[in-house]
Structure 1
Amino acid sequence: MLLPQGVSIAHPDKLYIGGTWVAPQSSRQLEIVSPNTEQVVAHTAEAGPQDMDVAVASAREAFDHGPWPQMPPGERIAAFRKMVEHMRPRAGELAAAWTAQVGGLASFAGPMHQGSIATLDGIAGFAEAFEFVEHRPTIGAEVGLIAYEPVGVVAAIAPWNGPFGIMANKVAYALLAGCTVIMKPSPETPLEAYIIAEAAEAAGIPPGVVNLVPAEREASDHLVCNHGVDKVSFTGSTLAGKRIASVCGERIARCTLELGGKSAAIIRDDFPTEAAAGLLANTITIMSGQVCAMLSRAIVPRRRHDEIADAIAGEMQKIRIGHSDDPETQLGPLAMKRQLERVESYIEEGKQTADLVTGGNRTSHMNRGYFIEPTLFANVDNTSRIAQEEIFGPVLCLIPCEDEEDAIRIANESNYGLNGSVLTQDAEAAYRIARRIRSGAVGQNGLRMDFGLPFGGFKQSGIGREGGPEGLLGCLESKTILIDAMPGHL
């Protein structure tokens, strides 16, 4: 089957279920289109509803009767570290797959995927330090123990913008907790999950513990609805997250949801205009703006609004747009045609309610591919659609405020609460404002992220946390045990 240059996958025409590569029950294939050229660059197998049921049955059998959940944590950690060692030399393949599938910059792809693999080492370290059985004081018996046990079968559903790092983290936490897992990558980016499955096979992970079923959305919904799934770990849109939460709620299944964002950057008076312009213009173009935690609203003092708008526009106009594999490119394409059309629809909406300062058009020098100029709207009303809805593209909204109190009000006037930033030279002020912003993360002076720390959202940006030791807790159930004496092996 067709694969991108630099990517080698043994069985792209198969699914990985029960420790073996099996043909899907239909002859359908997923077709991956390059956003740089609009040409098909890869095909893989496509799972259907029946394949989902087989994968769940396999994971269920491995959890209920297999050795993995009963292994001492140290043995699971050692097996997982073997998986990571099989992934480590394939960072170049992962980078090539990402660039081919979603148009991620080749100049960024290598460090990004090396960093994602290093994060897996860190997650294994969290598991080594985690106390899976705690001794607690109790009045109910001589000995009180809290045992942390695996939640069960986990459906891991990852998005297309960061397909390896997000999926690998979900798999890591599930496996290290003792769960079995079914990987359901985005239909636009299935290749990375194949490499994870091959690493599990090479490391000797027991059959059924790791399964792979690339699929379109109808079959994915069938997976979520399967009662054999104990937990859904999902990263993606808030709309899809609402559907998953409602399905899980019907049977009280567990779910972790990392959803959309409309994150605000508050610019204080002590932060220079040129520095703010350079930071914001070169942040909104990261991954073509297709980042859930993106700083897409900039809240600025009204008296500085126009000068900051002019400065950001000047920086945006310097940004080099081009193909992802060009080392000089700073802004590559959007990931797919429907995403380009979505961004364009929001730009048209924005023209009716705000001032278009720069950008807003497809690039004139690129006659093929899903390219759009970095775009700045000024004098944006925070209640407008472009300020309230996630655009997921290189579109920045500049919103004037009266003072710090008003800036905090505007930042919180959103259904989302994933990320935020305070642009200031005063760390005390950054901390004070951060504590008042209703979001899961806040950084001083930019889009700051650390996947070794818990990450997730308030409000409609999600439920639960991934990252850090807290990521393990999402794959565990706590059990209280009250007994008359301490067991000898503890």
Structure 2
Amino acid sequence: MSDTTTLTSRSELYIAGAWSSDAERAWIEVENPATEQVIGRIPEATARDVDRAVDAAVALHKSGAWRDTTLADRADVLTEIAEGIDKRAADLQALYVTDQGGLSSFAGFTSATASMIFRDTARLASSLDLGPTKRDTPGGSVYISREPSGPVAAIAPWNAPLVLSAVKIAPALLAGCPVVLKISPETPLTLFVLAEVFSEAGLPDGLISFLPGGRDVGQYLISRPGISHISFTGSTAAGQQVMRTAAERMTRLTLELGGKSAALVLDDAEPHDFVASLTRGSVVQTGQVCTTQSRILVPNSREAEWIDALTAAFETLAVGDPSDPSTEVGPLVSQAQVDRVESYVTSARNDGATVLTGGGRPSGPGFDTGYWFLPTLLTNTGPEMRVYREEVFGPVIVIEGYDTLDDGIDAVNDTEFGLGNGIYSPDVDRALALAPRLDSGTVSINTTGACITAPFGGMKMSGFGREGGIEGIEAMLESKQIQLP
């Protein structure tokens, strides 16, 4: 493991193949959300840094130095990056805990997943056919080639910076596209380690740049001429602004946006069999996950059973120091996030909701500092309440009953979002048959989240396009028809 100070404080940014300093850059202070202590600082990218990164990416793409390499050679680079991530796993895991407040018990999963994404994307090189491939059609014979779209602006969110950056970078590079990555200032440190992994790989100048900064940096990046594709993960409101900017230059888009996912519990599901997985799906990463199943829908005939079981499970969750392996719920990322979560609970109370457990900030030893909020379970809510229809992005979950199965499915779909819903039943075939009726890009059966190496994304206001799998690579390619006389 590297020295802690070296990991948390940086003076240079990795741009277009080199580490550089600039006296004009401002500084971003990095906090530990469990203690509120400033643990380091990093430079913030400037407009000049964006220009340099994009210009280098455009120049590289035009030169063909990366675009014209073979898929096998690109795959070898991705495998090398995966190996680099593995070598730095201890550093990445330590930063996940101190920079983000993530649980030490979950940290290994994040670094292993990032490595897996690069390896699996490399594996998919053998499945790609870039052509030109002859195609005989009623209108004539043509050749079809698929070519890299060009430089990609990738914007990763603060809640999963390493994994979601990998999801954007790996397919773009395999497709032949340079990448300019905008890093969130809330949780930037793991991506400096990833930048070091890339810098040690000896890649062409301009292939990838890492730019920490806020919305102004991101907005300037996506509006720059030369960007051919924008891959954005974040809130729906921010995604709408990205879409408006992209429209000015008809820039290609992949948008993975907010969610208000539901867990549909069927009448044959027993609480003792599924309450543990439902609880984990509700509070993983303190609810700061876009696919958090924040609405739990249970049959009215068994609502009392489920309320008792879930309330008991929430009350026994261990809240505290994320570096303690026994902790199950850590801090939120910032004071702003605590205030946001608290406002939703206050609004729900004022609207008549019942707080079954939680509902506020913890007190006592260990909670004098840090950004904490108790796992909270609400009932007596409804579609008219903000907490029921809007994404809270915290450990605040509603549980409500439904009469018939059709009513339950209608309740799942009664939202403007469509990211990831779940079905819970011991009868997997029955759940599979119901999955097409749920309006979301992912449907999880007896679990939560999405498989990151298969195509995932949203419907409705949760965005469009798919990341992961072969589809994530194809999103970075343009099909070209070559017609012969």
| Matches of 1:327 and 1:375, distance apart in 2 | 22
| Matches of 1:58 and 1:400, distance apart in 2 | 56
Partner of 2:190: 192
| Matches of 1:28 and 1:175, distance apart in 2 | 30
Partner of 1:146: 144
Partner of 1:487: none
For the structure 1 residues 13 and 128, does the alpha-carbon distance in structure 2 shift closer, same or farther, using more than 3 Å as the test?
A: farther
SS of the residue corresponding to residue 372 of structure 2 reads: coil
SS of the residue corresponding to residue 137 of structure 2 reads: coil
* Displacement of 1:49: 1.9
Partner of 1:357: 356
Q: After alignment, is 289-298 or 45-54 more displaced? A: 45-54
CA contact (8 A) 2:422 2:448 kept: yes
Partner of 1:434: 435
* Displacement of 1:50: 2.4
Partner of 1:469: 470
| Matches of 2:310 and 2:176, distance apart in 1 | 49
How large is the RMSD of aligned CA atoms in angstroms?
1.8
CA contact (8 A) 1:151 1:477 kept: yes
CA contact (8 A) 1:287 1:331 kept: yes
| Matches of 2:317 and 2:2, distance apart in 1 | 27
Find the partner of 1:34 among 27, 32, 35. 32
| Matches of 2:40 and 2:136, distance apart in 1 | 57
The C-alpha deviation readout for 1:270-320, integer Å capped at 9, x for no partner, is 001233433322321110011101111011112222321121111111111
| Matches of 1:48 and 1:422, distance apart in 2 | 46
What amino acid sits opposite 2:178 in the alignment? T
Q: After alignment, is 70-79 or 32-41 more displaced? A: 70-79
Partner of 1:20: 18
CA contact (8 A) 1:79 1:204 kept: no
| Matches of 1:118 and 1:199, distance apart in 2 | 15
| Matches of 2:434 and 2:183, distance apart in 1 | 37
| Matches of 1:260 and 1:46, distance apart in 2 | 26
CA contact (8 A) 1:150 1:475 kept: yes
CA contact (8 A) 1:156 1:170 kept: yes
| Matches of 1:243 and 1:4, distance apart in 2 | 39
| Matches of 2:234 and 2:146, distance apart in 1 | 28
* Displacement of 1:221: 1.0
Does structure 1 residue 411 correspond to structure 2 residue 412?
A: yes
* Displacement of 1:53: 1.7
| Matches of 1:323 and 1:186, distance apart in 2 | 23
CA contact (8 A) 1:5 1:96 kept: no
What amino acid sits opposite 2:438 in the alignment? I
The C-alpha deviation readout for 1:68-104, integer Å capped at 9, x for no partner, is 1111222222222222222221111111111111100
Q: Equivalences for 1:197-212 in 2 at 5 Å?
A: 197-212=195-210
* Displacement of 1:233: 0.6
Q: Equivalences for 1:67-466 in 2 at 5 Å?
A: 67-133=65-131, 134-142=133-141, 144-353=142-351, 354-365=353-364, 366-466=367-467
The C-alpha deviation readout for 1:108-163, integer Å capped at 9, x for no partner, is 10133113212221111112321111442234555x32211111110111011111
* Displacement of 1:430: 0.7
What amino acid sits opposite 2:329 in the alignment? L
What amino acid sits opposite 1:410 in the alignment? A
What amino acid sits opposite 1:424 in the alignment? S
Q: After alignment, is 65-74 or 318-327 more displaced? A: 65-74
SS of the residue corresponding to residue 246 of structure 1 reads: helix
* Displacement of 1:453: 0.9
| Matches of 2:192 and 2:246, distance apart in 1 | 27
| Matches of 1:449 and 1:127, distance apart in 2 | 22
SS of the residue corresponding to residue 129 of structure 2 reads: coil
CA contact (8 A) 2:453 2:469 kept: yes
CA contact (8 A) 1:334 1:393 kept: yes
Partner of 1:488: none
Identity %: 37
Q: Structure 1: 5+ residue runs without aligned partners? A: 485-490
What amino acid sits opposite 1:360 in the alignment? G
Q: Structure 2: 5+ residue runs without aligned partners? A: none
| Matches of 1:62 and 1:22, distance apart in 2 | 19
What amino acid sits opposite 1:468 in the alignment? G
SS of the residue corresponding to residue 88 of structure 2 reads: helix
Number of aligned residues: 481
For the structure 1 residues 401 and 10, does the alpha-carbon distance in structure 2 shift closer, same or farther, using more than 3 Å as the test?
A: closer
Q: After alignment, is 318-327 or 298-307 more displaced? A: 298-307
| Matches of 2:14 and 2:185, distance apart in 1 | 16
Q: After alignment, is 178-187 or 81-90 more displaced? A: 81-90
The C-alpha deviation readout for 1:311-332, integer Å capped at 9, x for no partner, is 1111111111111101111111
| Matches of 2:441 and 2:194, distance apart in 1 | 28
| Matches of 1:233 and 1:103, distance apart in 2 | 26
Q: After alignment, is 247-256 or 188-197 more displaced? A: 188-197
* Displacement of 1:400: 1.7
CA contact (8 A) 1:375 1:395 kept: yes
